[in-house]
């Protein structure tokens, strides 16, 4: 069996630096794409949640003849409001949650965009307006 001398043992500093540079390049190329995918997934999740709430609101209106007021909000899908005479809920299986950025959905009825309620997620920044991931996700454009 051959004995290794000191020069052949272990990893040199240059070899270690090359590995670190390769890992850094990989991270610089891959991480931004992965973060962009996460943002798009949150936008898709908000749209799906808004659509589910709109469907539940349709069932609520069929039973009660009118949508919940702004004051009653989306919570009327889970808990019977005082003036709902034919409430057959709960109309959603899950609690009324926040949007994917942990901000509450904005609910308005009467809405400003037709005869149905308006449901809005203000996106990642939580502020009206914006572009891209900060843009508003709204019920009347789904």
Q: Is residue 7 part of a domain?
A: no
| Residue ranges making up the domain that contains 26 | 13-141
DSSP 75: G
User: Domain for residue 21, yes or no?
Assistant: yes
pLDDT-derived band at 79 (thresholds 50, 70, 90) equals: very high
The answer to whether residue 29 sits within a structural domain is yes
Q: Say how many domains are in the chain.
A: 1
Residue 5 maps to a domain: no
Whether the pLDDT of residue 127 is over 90: the answer is no
Is the residue at 8 inside a domain?
Answer: no
Does a structural domain hold residue 123? Answer: yes
CATH number at residue 71: 3.30.700.10
Give the chain's mean pLDDT: 86
Residue 6 lies in a domain: no
For residue range 17-29, what is the model confidence (pLDDT) as tens digits? 888 998 888 888 8
Instruction: Please give the Cα distance from 46 to 55 (Å, whole number).
Output: 14
Please state, in angstroms and rounded to a whole number, the distance separating the CA atoms of residues 138 and 47.
Answer: 8
Report phi then psi at 26, rounded to 5.
Answer: -60, -45
Terminal CA-CA length for the chain: 72
Look at residue 71 and tell me whether its pLDDT is greater than 90: yes
Give the pLDDT confidence of 88-97 residue by residue, as tens digits. Answer: 889 998 899 8
With respect to residue 2, please indicate whether it lies within any of the assigned structural domains: no
């Amino acid at each position: 069996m051959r004995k290794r001398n000191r020069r052949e043992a272990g990893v040199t500093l240059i070899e270690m630096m090359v590995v670190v540079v390769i890992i850094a390049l990989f991270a610089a190329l891959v991480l931004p794409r992965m973060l962009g995918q996460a943002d798009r997934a949150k936008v898709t999740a908000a749209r799906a949640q808004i659509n589910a709430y709109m469907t539940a609101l349709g069932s609520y209106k069929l039973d009660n003849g009118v949508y919940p007021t702004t004051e009653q909000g989306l919570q009327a899908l889970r808990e019977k409001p005082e003036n709902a005479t034919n409430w057959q809920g709960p109309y959603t299986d899950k609690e009324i949650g926040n949007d994917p950025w942990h901000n509450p959905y904005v609910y308005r009825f009467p809405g400003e965009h037709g005869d149905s309620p308006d449901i809005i997620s203000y996106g990642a920044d939580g502020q009206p307006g914006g572009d891209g991931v900060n843009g508003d996700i709204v019920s009347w454009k789904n």
